[in-house]
Structures are given as structure tokens and as C-alpha cells.
Amino acid sequence: MEDIIYNAAFVSILQIIAIDIILGGDNAIVIALACKNLPEKQRKLGIFYGALGAIVLRVIMVFFATTLLMVSGLKIIGGLLLFWIAVKLILDSNKTNVVNISQEKNLIDAVKTIIIADFIMSLDNSVAIAAAANGNMYLVVFGLLLSIPIIIWGSSLILKFIDKYPIIIYLGSALLGWIAGDMIQTDILIKSNFDLIGNNVLLPFAGSTFVVISGFLFKSLNK
């Protein structure tokens, strides 16, 4: 009996590690994109505050996420908001690092964007961790603590690549568009009224395409 319990706990730990790596990457991408235009010193502050916000939100959401996800239409609203954030991140990449605006305002704007996006994505993230933990709060805490270095290290690494390869901005925003489309199609209101079996990648793909095309067009118009 004890062996079964230990094996179940071990499997849960592996699942939580996998969830943190996969879903923590989403948070890291948002933080990296939002902090791209900050001066070097403020990038570290942006990463710190962004990661802190992501963790705090996960702690809060892990207790309420399951209930919130049952609210019809909530994920649709969250998905639409995430679309806006993804397009905005592409548009913001048009700005330079010349500090002709208040640095404090730039940092605050970046942290605001991170917190809003983290709030939306924390719903699914928290449910995934809670489900993998099978009600074991020790495992939930383990999952939350493990996500801290993953988010901080991941966002720092992505920022370095963004400076060398700006196309990553489009790829990261496309990923957010995919997540937004997936959120919308898994909302109770959509699932109860539309049969998406066999087409479960249609909305996510459309979301990614919409974000990239919209971001490119708006960015071209703003030049």
C-alpha cells in the first residue's frame, strides 16, 4: 500500500515538473516580451516583479481556479484580452530603448502587461498543478516554488535571444494567440453549443494567425 502511495506521489511530482516547464514557459515569454524595451537595469526589476506577480497570482488562483473556470464566458473574455496583449506586445516592439519617457512609467507599464497576462494564464496553470497534486497541498506548494526559477531563468534567457533574433517577438505573440484561441474554445459556453471534436486546433491556429497578421499590419501603419 505504501509503495502505491509513494509511486503515485512520484508520478505527481513528475507531472508537476512537466507542467511547470511547459506552462512556466508561457509566463517567461510574456515577461521577456514586456521587458524588451526597458533599459538593462530595469529589465532585471521587470523580470523580478513580473515573476513575483506570476507566483502570487498562482498561489491565489490555485484556491479559486477550478470554480472560476466553471463560470460560463469567463475564458472567452480572458482569451479576447490575451489577444489584445499579444498584438500590443508586437506593437510595443517598435519602440526603441532611447529613454525619452519616464523610466518609471515604462517599468510600470511593462509590469502591468505582465500581471494582466499572468492573471489570465494563471487560471489554467493553477488548475493543472492542483489536478496533478491530487489535493496534496505539499505538492501544490512544491509546484509553485519550482515555477519561480523556471520563470525567472526562462525570461532572462528569452530576452537575450530576442535582442539577437527579433522574430522571436512574433513567435512569442503567436504562442499567446494560440493560448487565447484554446482558452476560448474550452469555455463552457463554446463547448456546450459547438461541436469542435476533430477541430481542436482550428481556433488556436486562427488565434496565432490573427495576432501575427494584426500585429504586422498595425506595426506597418505606425511606422
pLDDT tens digits, one per residue of 157-210: 888 787 788 888 888 888 888 888 888 888 888 877 776 554 578 888 999 999
Amino acid at 136: N
Of 20, 23, 22, 15, residue with least CA distance to 132 = 15
**Other beta carbons within 10 Å of 83:** 22
- For residue 94, what pLDDT is reported? 57
Q: Which residue has the higher pLDDT, 65 or 108?
A: 108
pLDDT tens digits, one per residue of 136-149: 777 777 877 787 78
DSSP of 1-18, one letter per residue?
-HHHHHHHHHHHHHHHHH
- For residue 209, what pLDDT is reported? 93
Tell me the HSE value of 199 on the side-chain side, using a 13 A CA sphere: 9
The ranges assigned to domains in the chain are 2-221
String of b and e for 7-45 (b: at least 16 CB within 10 Å)?
Answer: eeeeebbebbbebbeebbbbbbbbbbbbbbbbeeebbeb
- Separation CA 91–CA 217 (nearest Å): 10
pLDDT tens digits, one per residue of 17-74: 766 666 667 778 888 888 887 887 788 888 888 888 877 887 777 777 666 666 788 7
Question: Using the 8-state DSSP alphabet, how is residue 71 labeled?
Answer: S
| Rounded (5°) CA angle 22-134-67 | 80
The grid coordinates listed for 170 are 512574433
Q: Is 222 helix (H, G, I), strand (E, B) or coil?
A: coil
